[in-house]
Structure 1
């Protein structure tokens, strides 16, 4: 079962996770590394196996002195931009496997080309291998606090650690000193060199900054201690008010506040004793499609939520308030967090903002409104993927207005009273239907101005002479805007519905193709083709092969994977997590690999070319849905193969049991006869009469021949069952085969008579002469066995247009009609099971197997005449059908 899903030997054996201890400080220079090394020296003095994986001393002599006597691992050189940089050697640490490993600077960013982008991810792999780790961290490097630290200190932290990684720490030790003492150390040059220390003291290391950071460090440590206490009380079943009663829902909409809202939700969760929290985005089916920037922000926010320990969900509904409140009621949400941008005064006056609507509808839930703010160092928006520009729509809309103007001028000259506004409305409507909302609004404005300039008095001027014309013009403009707006919305909704229908159709086609696929390899090929079509890029599928995985299919053409890509694919297979480009593991490869998780286990790995799918796009969702379907299809195909193999083994076991039962009886009888007769001849040969001696010798020969037939039948059936039958076809005259078979059984006829009825001419047939002869011999011996003495056995051959037919007919008692369908089964006898003198019941089964192996057919008919007799027919196909005039 090297390829089975539930028990796959290629997967690593789960180990007990190592313990993580974090030395937490409010800022650089508080002595985190120093305290970690002191504790490590104490552990080593107690006999512990302690190894320094990586420690940054920053030239501090006190810290360097603590490294003496400790085993320090060599670092791994990595080439980057024509430079050799030294990084933590994770493979060396896994090979060394100490009891305790020291890894400094938990938030450090690794050099591009490393296995993981971040050191905290290296630590996760070390912990998963069962090794205890001690590390250091400054509180400002926590992801959820990065925006708070930016407002306090004015410095954006580029190296961050997800809060979920710190929450997994088994122990947190706060290394704390007062801000005044830290500034004193800074002035003495114990943190930075003098010039750098002076600049730092005037900026980051202000007393107010350090005080705020110290408070955050102490609060974060206290929160972890409280979490551990709650966990302990829960394990012991102590009752009390738990924070699980609070549930937080964060609403994001893809604006500039999205990431801040997610971090706010995390901080609110911390303040509420790690309350469960969820980040949700409401997708409105009737709304226009989001642009690439908003979609990317939403996707990044959902990923950030998962990194910070929250859940990510996507809601759907035109009524956003109802969709949110329905979810809140179903999931017992008690806190709702949303952002409030710059809503118009009119919206606020009529209470149409989302915040106001939720305040009116919320029952039993608190609403937290986060206001918009402008940061000094806002992160740049994600790059927009190239798409279809809007300028053709504007140009066509202007052309529609121009055509409408020409038509209006003609009508105005030909008729006295014509409603020319309808002509312009038609142009606006056409622009909205064909090119969407914005071109329609632009066309409405152009139509408004043109209609005013050309057709309202005074003409050829934008001034309006009559108050009635002002009302007419305003009504026309309003109608044009509403018409364009509605037409654009209908068009956008139609396009979104079309995309959804296309996605559903693609999934249905893929599902049908995967269902029709024959075997695991064919399923992998179909999955690669469908994924490549959905992503519009190259796709590969890798399947388990022995103790490794191997490339099984690729599309749209054959691909080969380099060593880096194969390493990423193996990681995805072994760990069950996405790897490669755009992930946190081996991101420098040109592929993104995802494990194919089936219902019962991991079925394989799929890879998609880098940058093929925009994060959060419809194409990405379609591709992921295809991969989920493909995983189930691969699992189903593998299970089908296993079922076939299991059925083959079951049939083989049943055949083996019947075979052993047959051997134990059918072979023992002739062996006993041969043994008894030969013993009698040896012991009493001098006293036996010649006729008795001849009778014993005849018995030995007959039983030996019967034994030889048994063994031959068993060997032939073994070849059939094991698939080892080798058909050597050649042009054969069936009459020669029948004559040879008749000669082989002639001695067993005794008083029976065999007649032969062959035509003068018979077409040659492409077949294996040896197999056909053995099949005919088996049928003849069966006819002889079940025919009475003095009866006739007829051996005949004839042909029709498409085949040559062999007929073997006897005058035995025949086969009961219910038994005709089972007469060719293995070990099938027409007499009592105790009657072993007539063979093991394999002759006809072997004949059937040989005939079908040559492409022929075999059938039995009974009774033939007066309720007696059996006819066996063998039909052998011709290579070329004979014309009816030649028969």
Structure 2
């Protein structure tokens, strides 16, 4: 079967069907407003399926106290809800994990647009449904039409209420089945009056506001249209999947075919009127770009742009098609997309084409099967004559070169005719015609073929020097020569045009690929804006600027080749593009007096900026404009991505800060309260009962006060040190120091807290001096020693040693505690990281080793932990400090 056979199933449709086969099926019960009976109808259908033996589970259903709906839950399997606590409030939410574990055949998840409680896996319930579908579970859900994202503004204008909970239209478009639950507005209001929707007081308020008859009628029409559109999309997808040729006139679909002539706008308006007559049928405006023809002239490209903009303003869609044959391309698109009506134009200028080549209208009528073709004719007085093409040298160069080739061929043929007898001179002229076609295209080739025909007849056929043909044989030879010359020259010209077109498209793809790489490599919003301005300027060959939002306004960010200032009119056009999301400025219907054109940069989620392009001496060609628009789309997404990355960094920073604050508060609430309670209790006892207590008891209480005050002082010092590290306020006072002196000073500071433990020191007789901050290094050693004391048995041995290698002085501190689990070694230097089981009441807030690491990093050194070291126990902390000058091997 040929690849382009319209009966062949669409590969993309087959791939989509294969992907759907691995997913569960989604069924949506759609209604115009609350109270129409969506949940009731869903439960009735679920009970029928359960009676048929299907595995049906109620995931979450909101009955809103309606007794008729609650009665349908009896006898059904209901999934318990999961409590989620947030800010002291407990909310009962849908338990998606339990549903995935249970994995029923059909799962009922009410209220598709519901916003989940903070702390849930997904912020929206429709995202829960997506995960369930991906797991292969069939899901039934309910939805009101006003919750569709694309209809939010429309519904607000109708009802005056803006919906906060929305569902993307794409989520509904992926539904496998859609069931419209519909009642009349009067019937819904009667249900409300009877208390079947809301309690009486709420019902009266709703009936006077949202549930007005006119509001409900408009919402009902929206629901009916959206359901019909979804069914139509499903029909087209099925046709493409099965390879069924259209059209199937289940619904009207209009295709308006325009070109770059003066009728383009007229055809667009005719398509809009036809859509209105067919109950607002979908309509599409398209232009077929011939792959074997040169690009349209600038005037044609401008008319096409205006036609596309007009179509978008009138509510139509636009698509650009490409193919070698207009009729085949249009009919293939019509069959794939179930087009039932085609609108084309027929101008006065097309009469010559009817004589010289096939008529587009006639060809479409012959090929159309089941498609109505509407031919819009042009009134002669309103016809806009084409302006004559300027006589530029590059346009006539091809004809001049073709004439030179024919002259050269004539001289060569003349010489051969004199030197030899019976030479086939026609091949020489054919070669010249082919050369003209290959080098300069179709029209120079056709002109060269005609001139070659006349010269060959005049100079080399009897009677010579006359255009009279002497014999029937010569006439046949001449006609065949002319036909072959025209065919070969035309084919050569078309091949050249196709090659040039391929080169242009390859250049555009290369430009887009390079731009994509540039945008991906750009770090930050300003870098992306600069790259975008440079890419657009290079593609359009003119000045380009990018404006980015600053607060509620937009301001110039970057320009290429230079940042051009904008006057008041140009800034007004830029603000219009930013505020309205519409193209403004030169060549548009908004502020056209400006010499700049401004495009809004719309990302996937929001608008990210505005791009401006100065109007040049000549308007952009069709290919240029497409390339510029593609660059703008890429740039908008790149700007949004950089903004999201910045927000992600900020969010991560806030998350870490929040986690730090939480850990700090937990530590302060426990570790600071304990020594304060001890000091308070001991001091109160001394004050109240000091005279009655024995001297040893009083001394023990005083020692406790001192120890706990020192402990409290250490906590506060650690917190202050961590604040200095986190805030970047750490200042080094480096000097030449002997590490042994620092170690001895640190040992003296912790001597009172050793208890029965032994602190052994192993220092070499000589040790190289290093440049460091003595006070910071002493605090590091004190923190490590206190950590060793906290996790060592009372009679254990702690070893402190120092040695050096060529480039570093190394400090080693070992203890005989229970050691650090291997899984904890990488996290032992994290803030507030402590062993799971406390050792004794002197255990700190989990900041000691973290502060030590921060100080050592500031000193340019390294700190690491190793455990276990002896018989599955013990921990060794190694601190490596760099030397200023490397020590040779023979001196160690």
TM-score band by shorter chain is 0.5 to 0.7
Which residue of the partner structure matches residue 343 of structure 2?
A: 336
Work out whether 1:724 is the aligned partner of 2:728. yes
The aligned runs of 1:190-589 (5 Å cut-off) are: 248-266=254-272, 277-307=283-313, 310-329=316-335, 330-334=337-341, 336-343=343-350, 347=354, 352-375=358-381, 379=384, 389-409=394-414, 411-412=416-417, 415-457=420-462, 459=464, 462=467, 464-589=469-594
The one-character-per-residue Cα deviations of 1:443-467 (angstroms, maximum 9, x if unpaired) are 3334334444554445555555454
Q: TM-score, normalised by structure 1?
A: 0.65
1:410 CA displacement: 5.0
The one-character-per-residue Cα deviations of 1:100-121 (angstroms, maximum 9, x if unpaired) are xxxxxxxxxxxxxxxxxxxxxx
Q: Choose from 821, 829, 838 the match for 1:824.
A: 829
The one-character-per-residue Cα deviations of 1:625-664 (angstroms, maximum 9, x if unpaired) are 2222222222222223323333333333333222222222
1:493 CA displacement: 0.8
The aligned runs of 1:645-724 (5 Å cut-off) are: 645-688=650-693, 690-720=695-725, 722-724=726-728
1:283 CA displacement: 2.2
Native 8 Å contact 2:791 2:839 kept in 1 = no
Native 8 Å contact 1:815 1:862 kept in 2 = yes
Native 8 Å contact 2:343 2:376 kept in 1 = no
Q: Quick one: distance in 2 between partners of 1:850 and 1:398?
A: 85
Q: Quick one: distance in 2 between partners of 1:749 and 1:262?
A: 91
Q: Quick one: distance in 2 between partners of 1:583 and 1:620?
A: 14
Q: Quick one: distance in 2 between partners of 1:819 and 1:274?
A: 67
Three-state SS of the structure 1 residue aligned to 2:394 is coil
Structure ID, larger Rg: 1
Which residue of the partner structure matches residue 151 of structure 1?
A: none
Native 8 Å contact 2:578 2:610 kept in 1 = yes
Q: Quick one: distance in 2 between partners of 1:611 and 1:543?
A: 23
Moved more, 747-756 or 355-364: 747-756
Native 8 Å contact 1:758 1:798 kept in 2 = no
Larger RCO, structures 1/2 (Cα 8 Å, 6+ apart): 1
Native 8 Å contact 2:263 2:345 kept in 1 = no
The one-character-per-residue Cα deviations of 1:248-273 (angstroms, maximum 9, x if unpaired) are 44322223433443444455566667
Which residue of the partner structure matches residue 87 of structure 1?
A: none
Three-state SS of the structure 2 residue aligned to 1:657 is helix
Q: Choose from 797, 800, 811 the match for 1:791.
A: 797
Q: Quick one: distance in 1 between partners of 2:355 and 2:779?
A: 97
Q: Quick one: distance in 1 between partners of 2:844 and 2:427?
A: 99
How has the CA–CA distance of structure 1 residues 451 and 746 changed in structure 2, closer, same or farther, with 3 Å as cutoff? Answer: farther
Q: Quick one: distance in 2 between partners of 1:359 and 1:386?
A: 38
Q: Quick one: distance in 2 between partners of 1:842 and 1:356?
A: 86
1:707 CA displacement: 0.9
Native 8 Å contact 2:542 2:616 kept in 1 = no
Three-state SS of the structure 1 residue aligned to 2:380 is coil
How has the CA–CA distance of structure 1 residues 821 and 277 changed in structure 2, closer, same or farther, with 3 Å as cutoff? Answer: closer
1:485 CA displacement: 1.0
Q: Quick one: distance in 2 between partners of 1:702 and 1:235?
A: 76
The one-character-per-residue Cα deviations of 1:824-848 (angstroms, maximum 9, x if unpaired) are 2333333614744221222112222
Which residue of the partner structure matches residue 597 of structure 2?
A: 592
Which residue of the partner structure matches residue 629 of structure 1?
A: 634
How has the CA–CA distance of structure 1 residues 279 and 843 changed in structure 2, closer, same or farther, with 3 Å as cutoff? Answer: same
Which residue of the partner structure matches residue 639 of structure 1?
A: 644
Which residue of the partner structure matches residue 768 of structure 2?
A: 762
Which residue of the partner structure matches residue 758 of structure 2?
A: 752
Work out whether 1:838 is the aligned partner of 2:843. yes
Three-state SS of the structure 2 residue aligned to 1:523 is helix
1:389 CA displacement: 2.0
Three-state SS of the structure 2 residue aligned to 1:800 is coil
Native 8 Å contact 1:677 1:697 kept in 2 = yes
1:306 CA displacement: 4.0
How has the CA–CA distance of structure 1 residues 263 and 754 changed in structure 2, closer, same or farther, with 3 Å as cutoff? Answer: same
Q: Quick one: distance in 2 between partners of 1:564 and 1:759?
A: 82
Native 8 Å contact 2:796 2:815 kept in 1 = no
Q: TM-score, normalised by structure 2?
A: 0.65
The one-character-per-residue Cα deviations of 1:678-712 (angstroms, maximum 9, x if unpaired) are 22333344455555444333322221111111122
How many pairs does the alignment contain? 655
1:491 CA displacement: 0.9
Which residue of the partner structure matches residue 863 of structure 1?
A: 868
The aligned runs of 1:87-166 (5 Å cut-off) are: none
Native 8 Å contact 2:832 2:846 kept in 1 = yes
Three-state SS of the structure 2 residue aligned to 1:829 is coil
The aligned runs of 1:54-69 (5 Å cut-off) are: none
Three-state SS of the structure 2 residue aligned to 1:389 is helix
The one-character-per-residue Cα deviations of 1:837-883 (angstroms, maximum 9, x if unpaired) are 22122211222233334554321112334444322223445678777
Three-state SS of the structure 2 residue aligned to 1:745 is helix
Native 8 Å contact 2:574 2:598 kept in 1 = yes
Which residue of the partner structure matches residue 849 of structure 1?
A: 854
The one-character-per-residue Cα deviations of 1:432-487 (angstroms, maximum 9, x if unpaired) are 22221122223333433444455444555555545433333332232222211111
Q: Quick one: distance in 2 between partners of 1:383 and 1:719?
A: 77
The aligned runs of 1:7-22 (5 Å cut-off) are: none
Native 8 Å contact 1:535 1:613 kept in 2 = no
Native 8 Å contact 2:742 2:777 kept in 1 = yes
Q: Quick one: distance in 1 between partners of 2:393 and 2:783?
A: 77
How has the CA–CA distance of structure 1 residues 365 and 829 changed in structure 2, closer, same or farther, with 3 Å as cutoff? Answer: closer
How has the CA–CA distance of structure 1 residues 714 and 343 changed in structure 2, closer, same or farther, with 3 Å as cutoff? Answer: same
Native 8 Å contact 1:456 1:464 kept in 2 = yes
The one-character-per-residue Cα deviations of 1:15-50 (angstroms, maximum 9, x if unpaired) are xxxxxxxxxxxxxxxxxxxxxxxxxxxxxxxxxxxx
Q: Quick one: distance in 2 between partners of 1:808 and 1:612?
A: 78
Which residue of the partner structure matches residue 36 of structure 1?
A: none
